[in-house]
Amino acid sequence: MIYVIKIRKYILSILILVFTICLVIFSSSNLLAAKSGLLLWATSVVPSLFPFFVATELISYTNIPKILGKIFNSFMKPLFNIGGEGSFALIMGIISGYPIGAKIVCDFRKKDILSKEECERLLSFTNNSGPLFILGTVGINMFGSTEIGFLLLITHLLACFTVGFIFRFWKKNYTSSNNKKVIFSESKKLSLSNLGEVLSNSIFNATSTIMTIGGFIVLFSVIISIIKKSKLLKILTFIFYPLSYISHIPSNLIAPFFIGILEITNGISIISSIHIRAISINIILSAFLLGLGGVSVFLQVLSIVSKTDLSIKPYFIGKILQGFLAAFYTFIFIQIFPIFNLNL
C-alpha cells in the first residue's frame, strides 16, 4: 500500500522521466515527427485559426456580442440557461473548430460579459470540431465519402446541443455577479482613436494562443511517434482484445483508437484507412473521437482556461459525454437511414 501511494505521488515525475529517456532512444524518428508536427502547424493550423483568433479578439471590443445577446436570449436562456451573449461563443465554436469556442468563453469571463456559472456551462459544449474539418478532412479526404462527412457533422452537432441542454443544470442554484457593462463601456469600445492599440492587443493575444497550440501539436506528434516505435500499442491491443471481441470491434482498430484519444487527426486518419466489411464501426469510433476532442485538445483548452477562474471539470465531463452521444446518434442514424449504412 505504501509503495502504491508513493508511485501515485510521483507518477507525473516518472512519466516525464520516461518521456525524456524515450526522446533519446527514439531520437531519429522523434526528430522527423517534430518536423512533421511543426509543418502541420505552420501550413494548416496557423492559416486557418490565427485570423479567427484575431477576429474574435476584435469582436469582443464591439457591441456584436451585446446585439447577439438581445437576438438569441430567448433561445439561449430556456435551452442552456445562459445569457444570449453566449450565442456568439456557440456559433463561432461550431464554425471555427477547436479551440475557438473555449477561447471566446474565457474572453467572456475575463471581460465579465457572463457569470462564472454561465461560462462554465458554455465551456461544456461550445468547443467543437469545425464543419470544414469534419466534411472536408474527415468525410471527403479520409473516408472518401460526402455522406459520411454529413453524418458525422449532424451527429456531432446533435451531441453538442444535447450536452448543452444537460449542462443547463450545472450549478443551477449558484449565481455569481457579473457586470455586462464592463465590455461595452466607452473606454473598451473599438474606435478609430484606439484602433491601433486594440489591434495590437488582439494580435498579441492571438499570437500567444496560436504559439501554445503549435507547441502542443509538436509535442503530441513526438509522443505518438514514441508510442508507435515502442511496443505500447501492441500491449494495449493485447490487453483490450477481450473487450473488442465482446463488442465485435476488430482488434486492428484498438491501436488507432487509442492514438485518436491522444490526437484526433492521426487517430481518425488511421481508423478511416482500415478496410473492414462493417465500416459503420469505423464511422462510430470516429464520431466518438470527434466529440471527445482528445487529450491534445483538452490540454490546449486547459492552458487557456487556467488563466481564468473557470473550472475545467464541466469541459472534461462535457467532452466525454459528447463523445458517447455522438457515437450513439451515429449508430441510430446508420440503423434508421439506409443512405448512411455503407456496410458491405
Q: Give the tens place of pLDDT for each residue, 53-107.
A: 888 778 777 777 778 778 888 888 888 988 888 888 888 888 877 888 888 898 8
Gap between the Cα atoms of 58 and 291, Å rounded? 28
In angstroms, the CA 95 to CA 99 distance is: 11
End-to-end Cα, the chain, rounded Å: 52
pLDDT digit string (tens) for 112-152? 888 888 899 999 999 898 888 898 888 888 888 888 999 99
Q: At 198, is the pLDDT very low, low, confident or very high (cuts 50, 70, 90)?
A: confident
Supply the pLDDT for residue 144.
86
- Say if residues 58 and 190 touch (Cβ distance below 8 Å): yes
Residue 156 reports pLDDT greater than 90: yes
- Local structure of 263: helix, strand or coil: coil
Determine the pLDDT at residue 181.
Answer: 43
- The mean predicted confidence, pLDDT, of the chain is 83
pLDDT > 50? residue 214: yes
DSSP per-residue codes, 61-125: TSSHHHHHHHHHHHHHHHHHS--TTHHHHHHHHHHH-TTHHHHHHHHHHHTTSS-HHHHHHHHTT
Query: pTM of the full predicted structure?
Result: 0.83
DSSP-assigned states of every residue in 120-133: HHHHTTS----HII
Separation of alpha carbons 271 and 268, rounded Å: 5
Q: Helix, strand or coil for residue 169?
A: helix
Residue from 318, 323, 186 nearest 260 by CA: 323
Model confidence pLDDT, tens digit, residues 3-49: 555 556 677 788 888 888 888 888 888 899 888 888 888 887 788 77
Other residues' Cβ atoms within 10 Å of the Cβ of residue 337: 11
Question: What is the distance between the alpha carbons of residues 166 and 80, in angstroms, rounded to a whole number?
Answer: 8
Question: What does the pLDDT read at residue 1?
Answer: 52
Confidence band, pLDDT 50/70/90 cuts, at residue 286: very high
